[in-house]
A and B are shown apart, each in its own frame.
Chain A
């Protein structure tokens, strides 16, 4: 979505001939993909930042300078100082520590949302695309119905009915994202179903299950992985929104969205409370998106050569 200019052109260059020109030595597919990924500076930076965020939140008990929950009214609303690098909130809690611990909630929710959505959506897409006919129609109409909700609205309705709780937020956001995976995988399955190697497998007597999981799913993995990164970053924003509205993480649990709600009440006296949660939300969304963009390019061998072609095309336009 960020870069509409990546035009995929079909070319006859296989990874092997590419390897021959690039490195004079044949490399495996994953090796090539990794090489391609490492060359993409934005993607590499995204991966590094993401790694830092994950390490920071996982290691929060070790890294965080203070207890994120312990109330200390003597220190309330302290502006950023060397002791409290990001200041303290109304209850005197160190913002730095809360942001680090808050990552545990946000990143964990993001991860589980992706797992839920993919675990349910991918099989639905595979079944609908492979079997087709009435089953396909029924499943896809159901997915369409789910897609007619603006996602946040549906999530609010689901969380509202299940009760305000971080577990329910995960479940709601997972459900909201199921149709996206289902449609994506159904599309790939419809195309892959007609591939010669699938026909060959069928002719050899492979069972439908074997065909679906071994031949079709394996070749549909790249777009699924890319979609996972997109879903991950949107889940982080949605979780923050729901927690901000008081429907997600409950106090005193540190949470980026929830802490912004607290910050809202002391905007005038403690504007520094706004900065850290906003910055970490943006950083995680950005890093995941750059990571995903890089992944998409690295996993699609056809785009590797496009770089040169596209530059030529732009130059032609400019001349």
Chain B
């Protein structure tokens, strides 16, 4: 356990280092390329003086390293600048939009686990039967369909053909008025579309882990003492097979938060993804920068949490 602590500490120290590299990459990318945000904002027919004044206001007239230094100095004090387009502090935009994306990703993950854990167990329990083949087929399909295409199919089937689910309403006033369904309903279709890939990943993984564990001696012992297949799997094998799944869930969650863009776009969800897309189109530097920093940081933390969970759940693991 001591070794693990040192290992995790080392990882923790690396986080700011990686973040610096990440922000430098984004900074260089955003600033080196042509396309002046001020010009885009003011349109083509403005006086050069007005453009120059605004450039000064956003420090865009300074040399690049200085701009980066200013940005970092502000960022560590919790100031990520203001949106050039919307004149709102980036931190405020994050505070408004991050919870929405987070909730969407959480519902998607919940859906994925609700389906994937039973599916993985059934697949392993009835391996090489029609059920296993059907679940495998579905998983492979889930891995190969782009989430936005699936989202459109779901909208057509469940919102247009059968008017079962609302397709808008996340983050709007309707949500708070409509009771439980008003709050949960709008999340269902986006979360399903977003979570199908994770469902497939977790199902496949749990199945193969279970099959691996099933060849081990203690499982044979459990069989030998007369336990049924089901009792062996649920009582003995599952405990060990689910450990790697926990890690994958943590990593995939970080990944989900960063990939909600297409889904937020389709369902007009006012989360991080849709704001980032808008910022990219308008070349709104502070927003692009702040959001990518946040998402990268979240992704790194999710990975760290995965490592931490790993050592907590499985005492055999020692990173020393």
Chain A positions near chain B (C-beta within 8 angstroms): 1-5, 7, 141-142, 144-146, 148-150, 152-154, 156-164, 233, 237, 240-241, 244-247, 257, 260, 263-264, 267-268, 271, 274, 277-278, 281-282, 285-286, 289, 313-314, 316-317
Contacts and interface: CB of A to CB of B under 8 A. Distances in A.
Contacts of B300: 148
B26 interface: yes
Nearest to B197: A237
Contacts of A163: 33-35
Contact of A260 (B149, B214, B288): B149
B258 A264 contact: no
A237 B296 contact: no
Interface residues of B, number: 60
Interface of B: 17-18, 21-22, 25-26, 29-30, 32-35, 127-128, 140-141, 143-149, 152-153, 155-156, 160, 201, 204-205, 207-209, 211-212, 214-215, 254-255, 257-259, 261-262, 265-266, 276-277, 279-281, 283, 288, 292, 295-296, 299-300, 303
A19 to B, nearest CB: 30
Contact of A278 (B30, B140, B153, B262): B153
Contacts of B207: 4
B143 A2 contact: yes
A179 B21 CA distance: 14
A240 B146 contact: yes
A99 to B, nearest CB: 13
A4 B146 contact: no
Given A4-B205, A148-B299, A150-B258, A260 B152 contact: yes
Contacts of A257: 146
A152 B17 CA distance: 22
Contacts of A145: 18, 21-22, 25
Contacts, number: 158
A156 B276 contact: yes
B208 A264 contact: no
The 3 A-B residue pairs whose C-beta atoms are closest, nearest first, are A150-B258, A160-B280, A4-B208
B152 A245 contact: no
A150 B146 contact: no
Given A157-B276, A271-B156, 19 more contacts: A5-B208, A145-B18, A149-B292, A149-B296, A152-B258, A152-B259, A153-B261, A154-B292, A157-B30, A161-B35, A163-B35, A244-B146, A246-B281, A257-B146, A264-B152, A264-B266, A274-B152, A278-B152, A314-B128
B259 A153 contact: yes
A161 B29 CA distance: 6
B181 to A, nearest CB: 23
A291 B207 CA distance: 22
Given A145-B18, A264-B152, A278 B145 contact: yes
B262 A245 contact: yes
A274 B148 CA distance: 11
A310 B168 CA distance: 49
Nearest to A261: B148
Contacts of B17: 141
Contacts of B211: 5, 314, 317
Most chain A beta carbons < 10 A, residue from B26, B127, B254, B262: B262
A156 B280 contact: yes
Contact of A268 (B141, B160, B299): B160
Contact of B204 (A2, A158, A233): A2
B187 to A, nearest CB: 20
B143 A150 contact: no
A282 B258 contact: no
Secondary structure of the A side of the interface?
helix
Given A4-B208, A148-B22, A274 B288 contact: no
Contacts of B22: 145, 148-149
A284 to B, nearest CB: 9
B258 A241 contact: no
A155 to B, nearest CB: 10
20 contacts: A141-B17, A141-B18, A145-B21, A149-B258, A150-B258, A153-B258, A160-B30, A161-B280, A161-B283, A162-B33, A233-B144, A240-B146, A241-B262, A244-B148, A247-B280, A267-B160, A271-B160, A281-B144, A285-B144, A289-B144
A263 B152 contact: yes
B292 A157 contact: yes
Most A C-beta atoms less than 10 A away, residue of B18, B261, B265: B261
Nearest to A152: B259
Nearest to B24: A145
Contact of A245 (B26, B209, B277, B279): B277
B208 A3 contact: yes
Nearest to A172: B29
Nearest to B292: A157
B299 A156 contact: no
Contacts of A159: 280
A271 B155 CA distance: 11
Nearest to A5: B208
Nearest to B266: A264
A241 B148 contact: yes
